[in-house]
Amino acid sequence: MGKANLVSVRIITADIKRLVQFFEDATGTKAKWATDDFAELISEAFTLAIGSTRTLAFFGEGVAEPATNKSIIIEFLVENVDDNYEMIKGLTNEIVQKPTTMPWGNRSLLFRDPDGNLINFFTPVSDEAKKKFA
């Protein structure tokens, strides 16, 4: 069996237009819409896919439920998390943690998207963390 490479994470939402707009604003990346029910925000390293609840019909009933995530953090490497904090404050009232330097060397901002998914914007600040993402 060959090696598996993670290439995307998909969020299922009941309000796709709202969630896509939020992530476009938060990341500065324009989404590519495949259909009215599926869009992708594509970066050099990763793709964030967003699908409406209507896409679940292809997988079977009860396979996923929107706005119920309590176990995953979606993380974005950003140039300056403190600068992003000012912008994010204008997009959501759900700031979980203001920019804080973590013991592992990243400066981290945690917030929730409109569906309640936990998002982490982080910037490496220690020498070791900077080397990891160089």
Q: What digits encode the pLDDT tens for the residues 63-112?
A: 999 999 889 999 999 999 999 999 999 999 999 999 999 999 999 999 99
Nearest to 121 by CA among 96, 31, 32: 96
Angle at 88 between CA 82 and CA 91, to 5 degrees: 170
CA distance 11 to 21: 14
Output the pTM of the full model.
0.92
Q: Does residue 1 carry a pLDDT above 90?
A: no
Contacts of 33 (CB under 8 A, 6+ apart): 20, 39
